């Protein structure tokens, strides 16, 4: 994602002032543009997050839940807005997101795709209109290297269903003899394998009919484009928490 954001940012004419990678990265010390296939940009890949924020208006983060709190603290100190698509966050990450948002604008999204945000809105509408006569199951598929399950996007879609049907509770996978499906369940299922970028389907299963709403990612470029659009949106905004819905409605 870092390479993709760098390549598309350069193509859009954005100015890259810093690029941060893991201290264990084999690309450490190389030119970020060359690594991304965007030509020489004069920005060296560094493990120094604080140095990478110097001169930045917005930092775009696709890292890990373990790395995010430190980045947020440094960004708040440097008065740099944050766009983050890192998933698998725990309570500490959520707390630091809120703390940073008191100082700078912060947009966190489990998926920075504009299409996924529209899907979430359609899912909420469908759940509201179809009502209790339809069971809801969410199935997501990702590449074999993804470390968290279910995906943050699947959880976002679950929340969209619960906006309309607050009586529902998630059930993560099934095995053995769980008995008949209860009406208050939202089934959550994760598939892992190969190089799948990301697929999410919300099934609404009724009597004699079913509705399926699906988003399929065929290129990681879409996540980077959404993140860059979010970064442009955040420039000049007051401190606070923002979401992709704010971006697409602006």
Annotated active-site positions, please?
142, 146
Phi, psi of 93 (to 5 degrees): -60, -45
What is the three-class DSSP state of 22? coil
Name the DSSP class of 14. Answer: P
The secondary structure of 44-92 as a DSSP string is BEES-HHHHTTT-SEEEE---TTTHHHHHHHHHHHT-EEEE------HH
Q: What are 212's two structure tokens?
A: 């399926």
End-to-end CA distance of the chain: 25
DSSP state at residue 132:
G
Residue holding tokens 């940012």?
9
Phi/psi for 212 (5° steps) reads -125, 125
Report the distance separating Cα 219 and Cα 60, nearest Å: 18
């Amino acid at each position: 994602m870092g390479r993709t954001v760098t390549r598309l940012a350069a193509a859009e004419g954005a100015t890259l002032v810093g690029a941060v990678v893991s201290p264990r990265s084999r690309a450490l010390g190389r030119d970020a543009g060359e690594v991304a296939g965007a030509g020489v940009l004069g920005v060296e890949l560094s493990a120094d997050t604080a140095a990478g924020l110097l001169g930045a208006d917005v930092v775009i983060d696709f890292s890990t839940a373990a790395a995010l709190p430190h980045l947020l603290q440094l960004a708040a100190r440097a008065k740099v807005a944050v766009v983050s698509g890192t998933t698998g966050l725990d309570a500490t990450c959520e707390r630091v997101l809120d703390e940073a948002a008191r100082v700078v604008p912060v947009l966190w999204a489990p998926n920075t795709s504009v299409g996924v945000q529209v899907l979430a809105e359609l899912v909420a509408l469908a759940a509201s209109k179809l009502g209790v006569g339809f069971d809801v199951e969410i199935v997501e598929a990702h590449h074999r290297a993804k470390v968290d399950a279910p995906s943050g996007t699947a959880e976002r879609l679950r929340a969209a269903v619960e906006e309309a049907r607050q009586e529902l509770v998630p059930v993560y996978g099934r095995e053995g003899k769980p008995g008949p499906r209860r009406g208050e369940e939202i089934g959550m299922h994760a598939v892992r394998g190969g190089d799948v970028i990301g697929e999410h389907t919300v099934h609404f299963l009724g009597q004699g009919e079913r509705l399926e709403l699906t988003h399929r990612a065929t290129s990681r470029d879409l996540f980077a484009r959404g993140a860059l659009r979010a970064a442009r949106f955040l420039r000049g905004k007051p401190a606070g928490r923002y979401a992709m819905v704010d971006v697409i409605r602006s």
